[in-house]
């Protein structure tokens, strides 16, 4: 029996299953696509999806499903919705949950569970999903009573998307989703007495920070992904321009401020630009908007921004003061706070000297790498520059984790928000390619480029089947150095070149692998092939995989070594 | 130093586990813990914990983390 759609005015009583209630509730939240994988405990849910003809992307592994949902969410700003079965289906999504948790992505996951009477009997495909995922989610629920289901779904979406976004999991026993219920399609009220979303920031805090900005001689704005979540990029640009504030991005904040803007100093942190890191080190006021002072950004905390007063704007009060003592705490949404600050901040001190000083750093120590045309090997950074040339600033770029990720962050020159998708906090290898699937589904008309390494790609390459099945014209570019490059770089630098298990003796033929999945595969081994292959790939309306052989021993520079401060960069 | 943390929480079977997970992550022993349903308001319970921390800053951060839990209605260091 199926549920009829509700009419807005008069509540209608209809018979359906718990799964019908679930699907109806998911659709009510505006869900356009679900990423998932069926299994025993979610059979009633898949039956309901079948009846409702909901758009569902069949991943080939649950981890692929959740990374695709993350990519979808990062690009669209909408919650990514995932369904997985009980037991292994649920445990396979844990990496994605943790990834979304640390990178603040709104994901709502529905897992099947064994039937209520057999929970806690070690039943087939049973796992304590609530226990396992509690520290990897913003919140999780187990539905024990079907009458609670539509409220729980509404609460799950609300928690996932409000405040600091994050993943929420709803665990649904099979007998609940199979149970028949007379269901009334009426307005559902949420009841979350322990959950509060901050409103506008305290005016006193705003006034104190505005005063500090007016007085500062050497201020710097550090913009993180919180600016993107708040959809506050225009406000950030205006605020920086109006008050002549130089801007540094975190890895995940890239795109929130145009790279070509004269106030932009680049990414800060372990592989950031010299100018960005010197700005963070020499500033007298550091205004962090929507970043969580991650250790890859701060490096040695005792040497971080030692000359600065710290201001931290964050929607999550637990982030303020967590890593760095904060003189000007401001709790609130980045967009609302920027608007409040814009209204409150008066004329500022003259900063031309400070800006000139930073500009000199940028001029004298730009990002660089060795690129000699006579060399037979291809520098990976050069390939990224050529991808940028052909795909342009309007392409959406996803990456995996490792050297290629850092080179892309350094050299792609992001101009627009929501065009950069990467795994920051958790550093999840295997993220980039499935994330590109979600990104392409969110933006079907845009060029989507997945820049991956040969290591990470092999972790989730089974999703090539999805690319062919849905005909997603993603351009997968493997920067293939036949090494786990970042591991190898650290072994070279800190373990006296003992390359323990970082240079595999075998790798597949990626071109034939792609072709076996029905994806066009090309290989670049010579420098003079780069332009023609990349140009053809970008113009090609079909999915393309490019196995680009690059210099194996190339390192990511500049770099701040572990334990060092931002001022102590090597390879500048 | 000894600190007393008191939380008002939604009464449900997972709430104590969530708080205990945080304590474990923070590597904090609980010297004493009591939990009881509040007679004054249905669906809410009171959790009182005595913990031993090295510095006050730790408790401040811990209280913020506990407060982030959706099932926690309010929490404070009542020492």
What is the per-residue pLDDT for A3?
44
Query: What is the DSSP annotation of A45-73?
Result: HHHHHHHHT--EEE-SSHHHHHHHHHHHH
Q: Distance between CA A393 and CA A398 in Å, rounded?
A: 13
What is the per-residue pLDDT for B58?
86
Average pLDDT value for residue range A130-149: 97
Average pLDDT value for residue range B33-56: 91
Look-up: residue for tokens 């979350």? A192
CB contact under 8 A, B70 and A138: yes
- Reply yes or no on whether the pLDDT at A10 is more than 80: no
pLDDT tens digits, residue range A414-426?
999 999 999 999 9
Contact A320, A326 (CB under 8 A): yes
Give B 9-28 residues with CB within 8 A of chain A.
9-10, 14, 17-18, 21, 25
What is the per-residue pLDDT for B39?
79
CA dihedral A538, A540, A542, A547 (to 10 degrees): -60
| Arithmetic mean of pLDDT over chain A | 96
Query: How far does B72 lie from chain A, in Å, by closest CA?
Result: 5
Average pLDDT value for residue range B41-51: 93
Average pLDDT value for residue range A542-562: 97
Task: Determine phi and psi for B15, rounding to 5 degrees.
Answer: -65, -40
- Reply yes or no on whether the pLDDT at A5 is more than 80: no
What is the per-residue pLDDT for A13?
67
- % of chain A with per-residue pLDDT over 70: 98
Partners of residue A221 on adjacent β-strands: A247, A287
Using an 8 Å CB-CB cutoff, list chain A residues near B25: 135
CB contact under 8 A, B64 and A194: no
- Reply yes or no on whether the pLDDT at B27 is more than 60: yes
Q: Distance between CA A446 and CA A452 in Å, rounded?
A: 19
Average pLDDT value for residue range B55-79: 93
What is the per-residue pLDDT for A6?
45
Contact A315, A198 (CB under 8 A): yes
Residue A76 CA: distances (Å) to CA of A259, A440, A448: 21, 10, 13
Which parts of A461-497 fold into alpha helices (H)?
A: 464-469, 485-494
Average pLDDT value for residue range A262-277: 98
> Minimum mean pLDDT among A176-190, A415-429, A475-489, B15-29: which range?
A176-190
- Reply yes or no on whether the pLDDT at A183 is more than 90: no
Residues A542, A547, A551, A556: is their CA dihedral positive or negative? positive
- Reply yes or no on whether the pLDDT at B42 is more than 90: no
Q: Is A301 on the interface with B (CB under 8 A)?
A: no
pLDDT tens digits, residue range A310-336?
999 999 999 999 999 999 999 999 999
Domains and CATH numbers, chain A: 13-184 (3.40.50.970), 203-364 (3.40.50.1220), 380-560 (3.40.50.970)
Q: Distance between CA A479 and CA A381 in Å, rounded?
A: 10
* Segments forming the whole domain that contains residue B18: 2-77
- Reply yes or no on whether the pLDDT at A352 is more than 60: yes
Q: What is the DSSP letter of A42?
A: G
Query: How far does A61 lie from chain B, in Å, by closest CA?
Result: 29
Look-up: residue for tokens 């590597």? B27
Q: Which two tokens stand for residue A205?
A: 């805090």
Q: Which two tokens stand for residue B25?
A: 């992550």
- Reply yes or no on whether the pLDDT at A4 is more than 90: no
What is the per-residue pLDDT for A2?
41
- Residue of A154, A174, A475, A551 with catalytic role: A174
Look-up: residue for tokens 């919705």? A81
Contact A87, A113 (CB under 8 A): no
> Minimum mean pLDDT among A13-27, A243-257, A392-406, A447-461: which range?
A13-27
- Reply yes or no on whether the pLDDT at A7 is more than 80: no
Q: Distance between CA A537 and CA A523 in Å, rounded?
A: 11
What is the per-residue pLDDT for A469?
98
- Reply yes or no on whether the pLDDT at A54 is more than 50: yes
> Minimum mean pLDDT among A4-8, A254-258, B14-18: which range?
A4-8
Q: What angle, rounded to 10 degrees, do the helices at A94-102 and A62-76 form?
A: 20
Provide the number of structural domains found in chain B: 1
In terms of CA atoms, which chain B residue is nearest residue A140?
B70
Q: What is the 3-state secondary structure (H, E, C) of A211-279?
A: HHHHHCCCEEEEECHHHHHCCCHHHHHHHHHHCCCCEEECCCCCCCCCCCCCCEEEECCCCCCHHHHHH
Average pLDDT value for residue range B20-49: 92
What CATH number does the domain containing B69 carry?
3.30.70.260
Q: Distance between CA A140 and CA A170 in Å, rounded?
A: 6
CA A208 to chain CA centroid, Å, is 32
Average pLDDT value for residue range A500-519: 98
- Largest separation between any pair of C-alpha atoms in chain A: 76
Average pLDDT value for residue range A280-289: 98
Q: Distance between CA A70 and CA A452 in Å, rounded?
A: 16
Using an 8 Å CB-CB cutoff, list chain A residues near B73: 193-194
- Reply yes or no on whether the pLDDT at A9 is more than 80: no
What is the per-residue pLDDT for B52?
92
- Residue of A267, A278, A331, A486 with catalytic role: A486
CB contact under 8 A, B73 and A322: no
- Reply yes or no on whether the pLDDT at A64 is more than 80: yes
Q: Distance between CA A184 and CA A225 in Å, rounded?
A: 40
- Reply yes or no on whether the pLDDT at A184 is more than 90: no
Query: How far does B32 lie from chain A, in Å, by closest CA?
Result: 23
- Residue of A24, A35, A62, A142 with catalytic role: A62
What is the per-residue pLDDT for A193?
94
Task: Determine phi and psi for A451, rounding to 5 degrees.
Answer: -95, 115
Partners of residue A184 on adjacent β-strands: A13
Q: Distance between CA A481 and CA A451 in Å, rounded?
A: 13
What is the per-residue pLDDT for B55?
85
What is the per-residue pLDDT for A12?
65
Q: Is A316 on the interface with B (CB under 8 A)?
A: yes
- Residue of A124, A241, A322, A515 with catalytic role: A124
What is the per-residue pLDDT for B40?
80
What is the per-residue pLDDT for A349?
82
């Amino acid at each position: 029996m199926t549920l009829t759609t509700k009419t807005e005015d008069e509540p209608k009583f209809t018979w359906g299953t718990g799964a019908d209630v679930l699907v109806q509730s998911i659709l009510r939240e505006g869900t356009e696509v679900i990423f998932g994988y069926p299994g025993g405990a979610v059979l009633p849910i898949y039956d309901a999806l079948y009846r409702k003809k909901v758009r569902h992307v069949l991943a080939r592994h649950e981890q692929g499903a959740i990374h695709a949902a993350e990519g979808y969410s990062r690009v669209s700003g909408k919650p990514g919705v995932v369904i997985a079965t009980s037991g292994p289906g649920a445990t396979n999504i844990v990496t994605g949950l943790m990834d979304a948790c640390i990178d603040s992505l709104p994901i709502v996951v529905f897992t099947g569970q064994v039937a209520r009477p057999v929970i806690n009997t070690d039943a087939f495909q049973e796992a304590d999903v609530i226990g396992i995922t509690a520290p990897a989610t913003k919140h999780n629920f187990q539905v024990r009573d079907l009458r609670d289901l539509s409220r729980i779904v509404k609460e799950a979406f609300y928690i996932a998307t409000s405040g600091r976004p994050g993943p929420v999991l709803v665990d649904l026993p099979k007998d609940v989703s199979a149970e028949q219920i007379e269901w009334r399609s009426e307005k559902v009220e949420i009841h979350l007495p322990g959950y509060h979303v901050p409103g506008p920031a305290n005016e006193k805090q705003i006034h104190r920070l505005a005063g500090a900005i007016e007085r500062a001689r050497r201020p710097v704005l550090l913009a993180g992904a919180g600016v993107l979540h708040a959809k506050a990029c225009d406000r950030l640009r205006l605020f920086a321009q109006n008050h002549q504030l130089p801007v540094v991005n975190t890895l995940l904040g890239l795109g929130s401020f145009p790279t070509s803007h004269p106030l932009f100093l680049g990414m800060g942190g372990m592989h950031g630009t010299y100018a960005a890191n010197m700005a963070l080190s020499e500033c007298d006021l550091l205004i962090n908007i929507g970043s969580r002072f991650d250790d890859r950004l701060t490096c040695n905390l005792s040497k971080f921004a030692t000359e600065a007063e710290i201001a931290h704007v964050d929607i999550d009060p637990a982030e303020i003061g967590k890593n760095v003592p904060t003189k000007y705490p401001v709790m609130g949404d980045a967009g609302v706070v920027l608007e409040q600050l814009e209204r409150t901040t008066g004329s500022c001190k003259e900063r031309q000297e400070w800006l000139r000083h930073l500009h000199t750093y940028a001029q004298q120590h730009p990002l660089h790498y060795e690129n000699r045309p006579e060399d037979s090997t291809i520098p990976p950074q050069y390939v990224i520059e050529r991808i940028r040339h052909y795909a342009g600033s309007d392409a959406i770029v996803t990456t995996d984790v490792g050297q290629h990720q850092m080179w892309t962050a350094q050299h792609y020159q992001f101009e627009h928000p929501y065009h950069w998708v990467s795994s920051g906090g958790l550093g999840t290898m295997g993220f980039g390619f499935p994330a590109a699937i979600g990104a392409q589904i969110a933006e079907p008309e845009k060029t989507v480029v997945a820049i991956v390494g040969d290591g990470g790609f092999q972790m989730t390459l089974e999703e090539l089947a999805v690319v062919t099945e849905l005909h997603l014209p993603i351009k997968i570019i493997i920067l293939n150095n036949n090494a786990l490059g970042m591991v190898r770089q650290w072994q070279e630098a800190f373990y006296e070149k003992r390359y323990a298990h970082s240079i595999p003796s075998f790798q597949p033929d990626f071109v034939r692998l792609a072709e076996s999945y029905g994806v066009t595969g090309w290989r670049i081994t010579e420098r003079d092939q780069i332009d023609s292959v990349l140009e053809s790939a970008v113009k090609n309306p079909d999915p393309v995989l490019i196995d680009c052989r690059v210099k194996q021993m190339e390192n990511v520079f500049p770099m701040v070594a572990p334990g060092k401060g931002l001022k102590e960069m090597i390879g500048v | 130093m000894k600190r007393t943390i008191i939380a008002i929480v939604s009464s449900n079977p997972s709430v104590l586990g969530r708080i205990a997970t945080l304590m474990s992550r923070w590597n904090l022993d609980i010297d004493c813990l009591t939990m009881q349903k509040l007679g004054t308001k249905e669906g809410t319970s009171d959790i009182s914990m005595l913990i031993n921390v090295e510095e006050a800053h730790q408790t401040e951060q811990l209280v913020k983390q506990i407060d982030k839990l959706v099932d926690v209605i309010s929490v404070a260091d009542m020492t």
